[in-house]
Chains A and B, each alone.
Chain A
Amino acid sequence: MNILVVDDEKDVKTLFEQRFRKEIRDHEIDFAFAFSGEEALDYLNQHLHQAVLILSDINMPGMSGLELLDRIKKKYDTPPPIVMMLTAYGDADNFNMAKSLGADDFLTKPVDFTNLKEKIKNF
């Protein structure tokens, strides 16, 4: 299972790699990391259909997570990748906006990794 994580905080990579240490070691999940929306689009252009799940932060300099979501859902419609939004701002505006743009799920930071693992397993 390929998962693309998009966040401007570089330490997110370390965090995920440690949290999913076993899954990575057992090759259950392959992680790719992008540190901005633009990087994420570049990655998707190069690795079409390889990412089945995208986890994206919303607050990022440059292209925001919501913009990225919009572009992904418009560009890759068959089949559209699953996009889960991760944000520190769990307010209704952000939530509704994400949902209306086609986000498949909406998680607030700090990430509850036990919960996240459950969700990933169910996809």
Chain B
Amino acid sequence: MKKRLLSFLICIGCIQGLGQSKSSVQVAAQCDSILRLLLSEKDAIKKADLNLAFYSASIDGFPLQLISLSQKLLDASKKNNDRFLESAGLSAAAQGYRLTGNYVKALEYHSNAVALAEATGNKVLTGFAINQLGHIYKDRYQNEKALSVYKESQQYFKAAGREDIWYPEMNQGVVFYNMGNYDSALYYTTKVINNIGKVQNNSNLAVIYSTLGGLYSQKGNIDSVKKYFNLALDHANKVKSARYLSTTYWAIAEHFKQNKQFDSSASYFKKAVDIVAGSEMNNLVLNPAKELTSYYQNINADSAVKYWKVYSAANDSVNSIRINQQIQMLTFEDEQRKKDIEHAKTAYQNKLRTGILIGGLSAILLIALLLYRNNLQKQTTNKALQKTLADLKSTQAQLIQSEKMASLGELTAGIAHEIQNPLNFVNNFSEINKELLQELNEAIINADTEEAKSLITDLINNEQKINQHGKRADSIVKGMLQHSRKSTGQKVPVDINAVCDECLRLSYHGMRAKDKSFNATFETHFYEALPKINILQQEIGRVIINLCSNAFYEVNKKRKTAGNNYQPMVSITTSLWGNQGIEIKIHDNGLGIPQSIIDKIFQPFFTTKPTGEGTGLGLSMSYDIITKSHNGKLQVTSQENTGTSFTINLPFQNA
């Protein structure tokens, strides 16, 4: 079994080295056509896939082609100022440097490629660049670091919805293999094989198959070992890549070594060394040469020295202290860059948070300012309103006073007439008495007793008349004074009939004096037994004068339009209001109040009189005097063209 496998492997090994340049040309041609497509492609997703296509076309079997491709990509990127192409170019160059053992340059380029890819925002490109970066740590057995880088790469592909890109898994499989964690290695590698499915021509299959071969070797599954190593060799030969062949030989050699078939092992180590020795991938000789050194140590000193020299040269180029330090420094810088990005992100978030906070505060401040301004405005308005209210109150007070004075003015002529008449009587009767006294003197001289008696009777009657008319004038003057005087607020017992009579006359004569053409009849229907009632006399007087004046005004208005048959008439009637008070009714047979305005007549400033003739306060003042000051009622009933009645009800208990 082992012999058959060995001979089979050797047989395949024989054909290596044939047509390598031809295949390299094919790969180059394929990559050139991919490059043309890439340079003309605008869509970012398709561009990322085209970039991956270089590697599917096995370009990383040929480091020099990678360097050449990177040059073309970087040229194009400069021409078009295209960061995508620049990142892809740097990744290609880095891979070229890595495969030729220049890890310092490779790491530097990879780091830049990752930074640029991140800047483009293209997740597939970034995932790829990171994946490529991982190779540096994988090759150098910095396994933990390598795993974390591949994981990061995997996350980028996942975020792009491209879990079909299996490079990170494949590489993690290799790292786990290197770590001796074969279960994990098998898990990842099997997963890749299952996913890879259709992509049978991918050159990476050589790597995957050789990994699987190695894994089954570790597990002692010889059938699978044979199967996968054959597949690996098959694919490596297809592309004739020295790199893939070398790594596959190396894996086979390790398998033989594992099975203590040291001669076979040595022969595969030799193949692994020979196919790359002196080439640009001289670094790949490192492990096989080391193995050969120890193999020849006890067998052939010359060979041992020879391979030690090969190993030592490779090792110097790859693992010198200086290089290790540079790698460390670059890794540190890369991590620093990441930290800076994180820091910038955090700073940005903080700035954003601060911004939002400041924005929020500004908004609140603005609202507060608006509210404050509103409040100020309201306060100002309030002040203005209070001033207006005060002005209105003072105006109202003035208006009420002027309403009083206006009604007094209306009454002045009436009052004059009312005083003039009794005064005339006083004068006339006193003159008569003077004559009568002379006649009486003569009668006494003539001793005419009859005549004297008659004269004395007349004198007495006349004196009574004088006295009566003097009192009448007196009461009118007092009433006038009360009318103009401000209310004392003292309620006194008053004979309502007398007040009504006087007020009716005053308003009648007032109208008469004002309008020469005015004429109307008035009637009084007084309930003689009406008890005295406690009221504010001048206030109630004002109400009655107001109502009577309105009544006379109304009948006079109707008289001007009605025919000769119309007899203007105002009447005032007093009666008991049940047992709770008294009632005064003032009626006119005027035009009546239209129903449309009857509800408004008690409103202040409502008047139907022409401008200048009425203040519109008379009825509203009257209403207040009756309802507020006397707890009474003032009601109106009216029929158009028939007349209007105002009814005042004053309760005895009106305090």
Query: A-side interface residues toward B, CB under 8 Å?
Result: 9, 11, 14-15, 18-19, 59, 61-64, 67, 88-89, 93-94, 97, 109-111, 113
Q: Please list 10 pairs of residues, one from A and one from B, whose beta carbons are closer than 8 Å in the complex, sorted by A's number.
A: A18-B436, A61-B520, A61-B521, A62-B519, A88-B420, A88-B421, A94-B516, A109-B421, A110-B427, A111-B424
Q: Which residues of A contact B458 (CB under 8 A)?
A: 18
Q: Which residues of A contact B296 (CB under 8 A)?
A: none
- Cβ of A63 and Cβ of B519 under 8 Å apart? yes
Question: A111 CA to B423 CA in the complex, in Å?
Answer: 12
Q: Which residues of A contact B428 (CB under 8 A)?
A: 15, 19, 110-111, 113
Task: Contacts A59-B512, A61-B520, A110-B424 known; list 10 others, CB within 8 Å.
Answer: A14-B461, A15-B425, A15-B429, A18-B429, A18-B462, A59-B417, A88-B424, A110-B427, A110-B428, A113-B428
- Shortest Cβ distance from residue B437 to the other chain A in the assembled complex, whole angstroms: 13
**Chain A residue at minimal CB-CB distance from B428:** A15
- Cβ of B465 and Cβ of A59 under 8 Å apart? no
Question: A63 CA to B429 CA in the complex, in Å?
Answer: 27
Contact among A19, A62, A67, A109 for B521, CB-based, below 8 A: A62
- Shortest Cβ distance from residue B425 to the other chain A in the assembled complex, whole angstroms: 6
Query: Taking chain B's interface residues, is the majority helix, strand, or loop, or is none over half, making it mixed?
Result: helix
**Chain B residue at minimal CB-CB distance from A94:** B516
Question: A46 CA to B521 CA in the complex, in Å?
Answer: 24
- Cβ of A93 and Cβ of B516 under 8 Å apart? yes
- Cβ of B516 and Cβ of A88 under 8 Å apart? no
- Cβ of A11 and Cβ of B465 under 8 Å apart? yes
Question: A111 CA to B458 CA in the complex, in Å?
Answer: 20
Question: A18 CA to B508 CA in the complex, in Å?
Answer: 30
- Shortest Cβ distance from residue A105 to the other chain B in the assembled complex, whole angstroms: 18
Question: A88 CA to B461 CA in the complex, in Å?
Answer: 24
- Cβ of A15 and Cβ of B432 under 8 Å apart? yes
**Chain B residue at minimal CB-CB distance from A60:** B519
Question: A19 CA to B519 CA in the complex, in Å?
Answer: 30
Q: Which residues of A contact B519 (CB under 8 A)?
A: 62-64, 67
- Cβ of A109 and Cβ of B424 under 8 Å apart? yes
What's the A-B contact tally at a CB cutoff of 8 Å? Answer: 53
Say if the beta carbon of B601 comes within 8 Å of chain A. Answer: no
- Cβ of B509 and Cβ of A59 under 8 Å apart? yes
Say if the beta carbon of B404 comes within 8 Å of chain A. Answer: no
Q: Which residues of A contact B465 (CB under 8 A)?
A: 11, 14
**Chain A residue at minimal CB-CB distance from B513:** A89
Say if the beta carbon of B522 comes within 8 Å of chain A. Answer: yes
Render B394-438 as a binary contact track against A, CB cut-off 8 A, 1 for contact.
000000000000000000000001001101110111011000100
Question: A94 CA to B516 CA in the complex, in Å?
Answer: 8
- Shortest Cβ distance from residue B467 to the other chain A in the assembled complex, whole angstroms: 12
Say if the beta carbon of B469 comes within 8 Å of chain A. Answer: yes
- Total number of B residues with any Cβ neighbor in A under 8 Å: 27
- Shortest Cβ distance from residue A73 to the other chain B in the assembled complex, whole angstroms: 17
Interface residues of B in 359-405 (CB under 8 A from A): none
Question: A67 CA to B509 CA in the complex, in Å?
Answer: 17
- Cβ of B432 and Cβ of A18 under 8 Å apart? yes
Question: A89 CA to B413 CA in the complex, in Å?
Answer: 10
- Cβ of B417 and Cβ of A88 under 8 Å apart? yes
Q: Which residues of A contact B420 (CB under 8 A)?
A: 88, 109
Question: A109 CA to B425 CA in the complex, in Å?
Answer: 10
Question: A61 CA to B420 CA in the complex, in Å?
Answer: 17
Question: A61 CA to B465 CA in the complex, in Å?
Answer: 22
**Chain A residue at minimal CB-CB distance from B465:** A11
- Shortest Cβ distance from residue A51 to the other chain B in the assembled complex, whole angstroms: 23
Question: A61 CA to B428 CA in the complex, in Å?
Answer: 23
Question: A59 CA to B522 CA in the complex, in Å?
Answer: 13
Q: Which residues of A contact B431 (CB under 8 A)?
A: 113
- Cβ of B469 and Cβ of A11 under 8 Å apart? yes
**Chain B residue at minimal CB-CB distance from A109:** B424
Q: Which residues of A contact B424 (CB under 8 A)?
A: 88, 109-111
- Shortest Cβ distance from residue B396 to the other chain A in the assembled complex, whole angstroms: 36
Question: A115 CA to B423 CA in the complex, in Å?
Answer: 19
Interface residues of B in 152-176 (CB under 8 A from A): none
Question: A97 CA to B515 CA in the complex, in Å?
Answer: 13
Q: Which residues of B contact A62 (CB under 8 A)?
A: 519-521, 567
**Chain B residue at minimal CB-CB distance from A111:** B428
Question: A67 CA to B462 CA in the complex, in Å?
Answer: 32
- Cβ of A19 and Cβ of B432 under 8 Å apart? yes
The listed residue with most B CB atoms (<10 A of its CB), out of A61, A63, A110, is: A61
- Shortest Cβ distance from residue A23 to the other chain B in the assembled complex, whole angstroms: 13
Render B115-152 as a binary contact track against A, CB cut-off 8 A, 1 for contact.
00000000000000000000000000000000000000
**Which 6 pairs from chain A and chain B are nearest by CB?**
A110-B424, A62-B521, A18-B432, A88-B420, A64-B519, A109-B424
Q: Which residues of B contact A61 (CB under 8 A)?
A: 508, 520-522
Q: Which residues of B contact A14 (CB under 8 A)?
A: 461-462, 465
Question: A94 CA to B520 CA in the complex, in Å?
Answer: 17
- Shortest Cβ distance from residue A88 to the other chain B in the assembled complex, whole angstroms: 5
